[in-house]
Amino acid sequence: MIIKKYVGKNESEATDEAKKELGGNIVVMNVRPVKKSGFLALFQSQKIEVTVALEEEPERPVRTTYTPQKPKVQESRGSFDNAQRDTVVSAAATATKVSTPKEDNSAIEEKLDNLSSLLEKNILKNEKEVVTPKAEKETGVVPEKSNDGVKTSKNDISEETLSFIKLLYNTLIENEVDEIYVNQLTDEVEKISKPGLPFDYALANVYQKMVLKFGKSEPIKEVGEEKPIAEIFIGPTGVGKTTTIAKLASELTVSKKKKVALLTMDTYRIAAAEQLRTYASILEIPFRVIYSVDEMKQAAEDFREYDYIMVDTAGHSLKNEELIRDVENYIRALEELMECENYLVLSATTKYRDLIEISDAYSEMVAYKLIFTKMDETGAKGNLYNIRMHTGSPIAYITNGQNVPDDIAVFDAQKIVKNLLGGKS
């Protein structure tokens, strides 16, 4: 890795200078104003220093598309447009005017754009309440309950509802949402199906349920009187744990002015430890390599006045029981001394069945929140929903690039759900 600093009148000028010398593949690691000293500094304009890194492009994992089981809806899995083009809706079939599939397709983006406000109005209502009083008033539809308590309809599913279900099914499957969860959502649409039920209400119902199932994001906890908090990052090799730590450490130290120390247990990969050491040097925060549980306890004592201790762990094969025990022992030692938050870092490009195996293995070790990396390397976001449903663990952050500290964001369920339903996020 090449680490160099460039100074310019502004960030853009310094970055352009770096690209001229090192090429376009540089990674911006830090931006800060240059502090000048002396009397003449009063009469000179401020300069900006940009620190960049250049490293070899990592090999991207081979992406294997998950093939679901036989569809519940007996229709070939076509595109969003094909599903609608092949569906014919009779205007005379209902007393009310029904949108044609073509109109539905063109309306989806507009409907999705308006669903955030709808969700905010209904978010505090009981999730079991499927048809709201407002919808009943507008449609004249009053839900009935069967003997088992599920809201049902005496009428068969209307043709327009069936069209929507097929559309919903194909869209979610194409985004690699597991068929089990897709069928749960289509079942919900069938339950609320009534003649004259507006298309936008059915869409809003699905949207709201998916957002509610994702739940609220749980980013790093604000430190209080009890400090420090240990932020521990676990996960397989190559998912971007070290870079993710650097992004969050930069946010905490530069933007939030917190005292942060970096530790690494990864003594197996020299490059990983040196990369984290470089980030620590740039941010001017302490860094330490930990070789034993005793050293971990000593580090916790040495940094007891800090706000956060961020800990990188060794990525390893799930079959390496020795390494698994080592990581678990380190975490247990920290838990005895301070509050800990664990983050399982996963790549959004990893195959679904592998994500299941990884998340199950780590759940036997500790409770964790989720971070998904490499979001910019895949168009299908369904695995976020799949793993959230499978583990029950909240998603804290997503990352979408290599730039430190910019390419990370607190997880936004509404944006992801909008994307999964065919909208632009």
Better-predicted residue by pLDDT, 61 or 107: 107
Task: Over range 104-122, report the average pLDDT.
Answer: 48
Residue type at position 409 = A
Better-predicted residue by pLDDT, 403 or 267: 403
Least confident of 69-73, 88-92, 216-220: 88-92
- What pLDDT, on a 0 to 100 scale, did the predictor assign at position 36? 60
d(CA 419, CA 112): 9
d(CA 214, CA 416): 10
- What pLDDT, on a 0 to 100 scale, did the predictor assign at position 136? 41
User: What's 46's DSSP letter?
Assistant: P
- What pLDDT, on a 0 to 100 scale, did the predictor assign at position 194? 75
Size of the chain, expressed as the number of residues it contains: 425
Better-predicted residue by pLDDT, 171 or 224: 171
* The two structure tokens encoding residue 239: 């998912």
With CA atoms as reference, report the closest residue to 173 among 68, 265, 97, 246.
Answer: 68
Residue 28 in this model has a pLDDT that exceeds 80: no
- What pLDDT, on a 0 to 100 scale, did the predictor assign at position 300? 94
What radius of gyration do the chain's Cα atoms show?
A: 26
d(CA 12, CA 366): 43
With CA atoms as reference, report the closest residue to 310 among 264, 272, 344.
Answer: 264
Contact predicate 214/416, CB 8 Å: yes
Angle at 276 between CA 271 and CA 278, to 5 degrees: 95
Better-predicted residue by pLDDT, 139 or 208: 208
* The two structure tokens encoding residue 62: 């081979």
Which domains are delineated in the chain?
Answer: 2-54 (no CATH), 80-214 (no CATH), 229-413 (3.40.50.300)
- What pLDDT, on a 0 to 100 scale, did the predictor assign at position 398? 96
- What pLDDT, on a 0 to 100 scale, did the predictor assign at position 99? 38
Mean pLDDT score across all residues of the chain: 76
Place of tokens 């679901």: 68
Q: What does the buried/exposed string (b/e) look like for 195-216 if buried means 16 or more CB atoms within 10 Å of the residue's CB? A: bebbbbbbbbbbbbbbbebbee
Task: Over range 43-56, report the average pLDDT.
Answer: 71
pLDDT confidence bin for 425, thresholds 50/70/90: low
With CA atoms as reference, report the closest residue to 417 among 114, 217, 216, 208.
Answer: 208
